[in-house]
Amino acid sequence: MKEKFTGLFLLFFTVIGYAQQDSQYTQYMYNTININPAYAGSREAMSIFVLHRAQWVGLDGAPVTNTVSLHTPINNSDVGLGISIVNDKIGPSDESTISADFSYTIPTSETFKLSFGLKASASLLNIDFINKLSKYDLNDYQFETNIDNKFSPNIGAGVYLHSESSYIGLSVPNFLETKHFDRYASRGANSHVAAEKMHYYLIAGHVFDLSSEVKFKPSVLTKLVQGAPLQVDLSGNFLINDKVMAGVAYRWSAALSAMVGFQVNDSWFIGYSYDLETTRLENYNSGSHEIFLRYELFNRYDKMVSPRFF
């Protein structure tokens, strides 16, 4: 029991207090709106996205993330709008964030467009010290008071340069380095403080037509946040007959992943990924699972020639 508590405690304060705090996704290439507001409306259809991620399955208190998002272009204008809800649970913490996204796109050449995006978000954080942590040490004063529905607003921005076959984007979803704290906690009680740092994201990818039936898309996601090592996700996905997707990914010094997906029809796409840890954590969990469903609604004037690969 003591070992379980120690693992939960370290896991919680490593992720919440000092390391990467934004939600982590293996299939980030299909969930770009959550990290870059300039992506809103870029698919030229109303896109509804639902994702569930269970990370480090079998490890007590491991992260669980649920995401729902919607984004769409506005009529025939250069404006895109989006909204998303993300719920993250890790150890004794439960945080829900709702975000609104705005993008404006301008053509830069015959093939490329440049989009600028703004994100406004609001979060509610709950940390159950009393029931989730104090039971392991009933005499520890640090766990006497919970953090209940602590509200914090934030703003972010991003740019996204894209064509039909290439993209590159840079974003900071949260500019404000907020601190959540419990007003009942004694002054200087670090255990009651969760500081959120700025996260910088750089994404890029390109689609190669290997044949009339096969497309190949390598992509990269780079994440930088104070207090955590630089994280780089490399992936390569094949799209076969515009229907079946299969690929692999590598999270630098962290995990190997396999991805599969199926384009059911013009509107429905489903995807799944499995992560295998390459760190010492692999001894304490059975991997991470991520599944998503995307539905896209086209108006009567739209005609989908082939599924967009990003």
What confidence score (pLDDT) does residue 4 get? 47
Distance CA 307, CA 267 (A): 9
User: Which residue segments constitute the domains of the chain, with CATH numbers given?
Assistant: 22-181+196-296 (2.40.160.40)
pTM of the predicted protein model: 0.84
What confidence score (pLDDT) does residue 80 get? 96
Positions in the chain short of pLDDT 50: 1-20, 186, 190, 300-301, 305
What confidence score (pLDDT) does residue 18 get? 38
> Two tokens at 96?
């829900």
What confidence score (pLDDT) does residue 270 get? 97
Q: CA 294 → CA 83, 85, 183, 263, 271, distances in Å?
A: 15, 15, 41, 9, 9
Q: Which 8-state DSSP code applies to residue 243?
A: T
The amino acid sitting at 4 is: K
Locus of tokens 């719920």: 87
What confidence score (pLDDT) does residue 148 get? 76
Tell how far CA 163 is from the center of its chain.
Answer: 23
Q: Which residues contact 265 (CB under 8 A, 6 or more apart)?
A: none
> Two tokens at 105?
């796109």
List pLDDT tens digits, range 201-238: 999 999 999 999 999 999 999 999 877 788 999 999 99
